[in-house]
Amino acid sequence: MIPVKTEEEIALLRESCRIVKECLDFVGGHIRAGMTTKEVDDMVYRFITAEGAEPSCLGYCGFPASACVSVNEVVVHGIPGDRVLCEGDIVSVDLCAYKNGFHGDGARTFAIGEVSAEKQKLIRVTKECFFQGIEGLKAGTPLYDIGYKVQRYAEANGFSVIRSYTGHGIGREMHEDPAVPNYGRKGTGPRLPAGAVICVEPMIAAGGWRVQVADDGWTATMLDKKPAAHYENTIVIRENGVEILTL
């Protein structure tokens, strides 16, 4: 069963997601060469707590920071630290805010200064994969249509989709049912009900799809060391479409 939320619960989710969206915008406006990934994390911590929310990632399964900050070939779950951002890097920032009993979740990949044409295309296509994935989405759509559309678009652009991480439902828990893969067969999976709240989060690689997790248990790096990007929003399934809460 795919959980559904009441309008009262969605109103609370909307507030948590507003904080996520504004925090991502704030990070996008301030991230620059010379900053460490820890300084990016500090910005996120201060922003979220100033909004009266908590960073859901901090302490989640032992994760030691408020945001995942993933540079270049790190696709997700980068642990903020002393890595200095340089011109030409791409940086994926993934963060969650918890307020009034509900979590919001979103991610963006930012370019530091001028980046290669391949990285520019990767950031653009990853964002477009999200919009392809939700194209035509409404109550009754089979769940795996999302991944089918994401994968089709990514591969048509010469990129690959990460298999070992997925999107997810969200609400009182940061990760709820269902898992939302970025690959799949058209017309398959359970039908999404109106009021379901899910995170659609394409993780797209310029090279192959294989990922290796570092000894720290978190840092997920592309095996071929090619760059990867991430774009995520929390959305509500409605009778006639979707409502994007983190945009």
Q: How distant, in Å, are the alpha carbons of 34, 40, 229 from that of 55?
A: 24, 13, 22
- Pick from 58, 199, 203, 206: which binds Co ion (CB under 5 A)? 199
Residue 191 DSSP label: B
The span of 57-65, 119-127, 134-142, 182-190 binding ligand MF3 (CB under 6 A) equals: 57-65
Q: How far is the CB of 48 from ligand MF3 (least distance, A)?
A: 13
Q: Residue 123 interacts with ligand MF3 (CB under 6 A)? A: no
Q: How distant, in Å, are the alpha carbons of 21, 195, 236 from that of 6?
A: 22, 7, 11
Q: Residue 61 interacts with ligand MF3 (CB under 6 A)? A: yes
Q: Residue 89 interacts with ligand MF3 (CB under 6 A)? A: no
- Pick from 105, 143, 176, 228: which binds Co ion (CB under 5 A)? 105
Q: How many CA atoms lie within 13 A of 183 on its CB side?
A: 11
Q: Which does 57 bind (CB under 5 to 8 A by kind): ligand MF3, Co ion, none?
A: ligand MF3
Q: Which is nearer to ligand MF3, 115 or 169 (CB)?
A: 169
Q: Which is nearer to ligand MF3, 119 or 168 (CB)?
A: 168
Backbone angles phi, psi at 119, to 5 degrees: -65, -40
Strands (E) located in the chain = 54-55, 67-71, 74-76, 90-99, 102-111, 160-161, 167-169, 176-180, 197-200, 203-205, 211-213, 220-222, 228-230, 233-238, 241-244
Region 65-84 residues binding ligand MF3, contact defined as CB under 6 A: 68, 77
Q: Which is nearer to ligand MF3, 89 or 94 (CB)?
A: 94
Place of tokens 């790190």: 74
Interacting residues with Co ion (CB under 5 A): 105, 199
Interacting residues with ligand MF3 (CB under 6 A): 57, 60-61, 63, 68, 77, 94, 96, 105, 199, 201, 232
